[in-house]
């Protein structure tokens, strides 16, 4: 991966399971105590493989970085680096309601971003005769762009809006064996359990296409 690819992956991870926030920081400027607002990046996930992949991408893109703090008990990675946070935001907003699918990506980068994003927001159903992938978000505009880009990669899907306990959610649903195979071969998951579950769902079809 080149530098842009790595930043795209990091953005996808943070857009799905993280955030970028301002934090008041103290330092000494000359002889005076200075308080400034500095950006901090957070990533949360219970799957250790994804935590390691996120940290690996950061260290590869920023070899001299010393501001990564991992708290295993909280499943949290914190990046205390204002410049890195600004670099991530250059690709698009971050936040559960406002995250953006980066513009100007090539085909490879679209795949990298979607894979990182669905590792957090996607799930695989393989129960009885129900086999499908769902990607959920409260950000309808952002998720529509994901649906559009999946279709541009040849993966047909359906976009839904639904109400759950008084809250509005949006969902992408990918079904039918041909689309599950395309997703498996083109996008896939970094998340090992979801990748395995998707393979099992595909193999559970009685007939080949």
pLDDT digits (tens, 9 = 90+) for 175-199: 999 999 999 999 999 999 999 999 9
* pLDDT above 50: residue 209: no
* Average pLDDT of the residues in 132-147: 96
62: exposed, middle or buried (Cβ count in 10 Å: 0-12, 13-18, 19+) = buried
Average pLDDT, the chain: 91
Q: For position 175, what pLDDT does the model report?
A: 94
**Owner of token pair 């590792």:** 119
Q: For position 88, what pLDDT does the model report?
A: 97
**Owner of token pair 């296409």:** 209
pTM of structure = 0.91
* Average pLDDT of the residues in 38-54: 94
SS (H, E, C) 189-207: CCCHHHHHHHHHHHHCCCC
Reported confidence tier of residue 34, pLDDT bands at 50, 70, 90: low
Quick one: what percent of the chain has pLDDT higher than 90?
80
Cα 26 to Cα 24: distance, rounded to the nearest angstrom = 7
Order of strands, sheet of 18-29, starting from the edge strand that comes earlier in the sequence: 18-29, 32-44, 76-79, 68-71
């Amino acid at each position: 991966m080149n530098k842009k690819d790595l930043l795209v992956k990091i953005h996808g991870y943070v857009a799905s399971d993280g955030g970028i926030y301002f934090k008041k920081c103290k330092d000494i400027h000359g002889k005076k105590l200075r308080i400034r607002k500095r950006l901090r990046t957070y990533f949360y996930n219970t799957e250790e493989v994804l935590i390691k992949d996120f940290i690996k991408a950061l260290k590869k893109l920023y070899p001299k970085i010393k501001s990564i703090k991992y708290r295993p008990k909280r499943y949290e990675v914190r990046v205390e680096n204002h410049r890195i946070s600004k670099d991530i935001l250059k690709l698009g907003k971050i936040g559960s309601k406002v995250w953006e699918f980066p513009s100007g990506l090539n085909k490879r980068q679209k795949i990298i971003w979607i894979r990182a994003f669905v590792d957090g927001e996607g799930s695989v159903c393989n129960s009885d005769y129900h086999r499908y992938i769902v990607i959920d978000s409260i950000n309808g505009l952002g998720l529509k762009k994901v649906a559009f880009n999946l279709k541009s990669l040849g993966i047909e899907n359906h976009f839904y809006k639904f109400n759950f306990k008084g809250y509005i959610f949006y969902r992408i649903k990918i079904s039918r064996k041909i689309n599950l195979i395309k997703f498996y071969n083109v996008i896939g998951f970094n998340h090992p359990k979801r990748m395995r579950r998707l393979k099992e769902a595909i193999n559970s079809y009685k007939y080949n296409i």
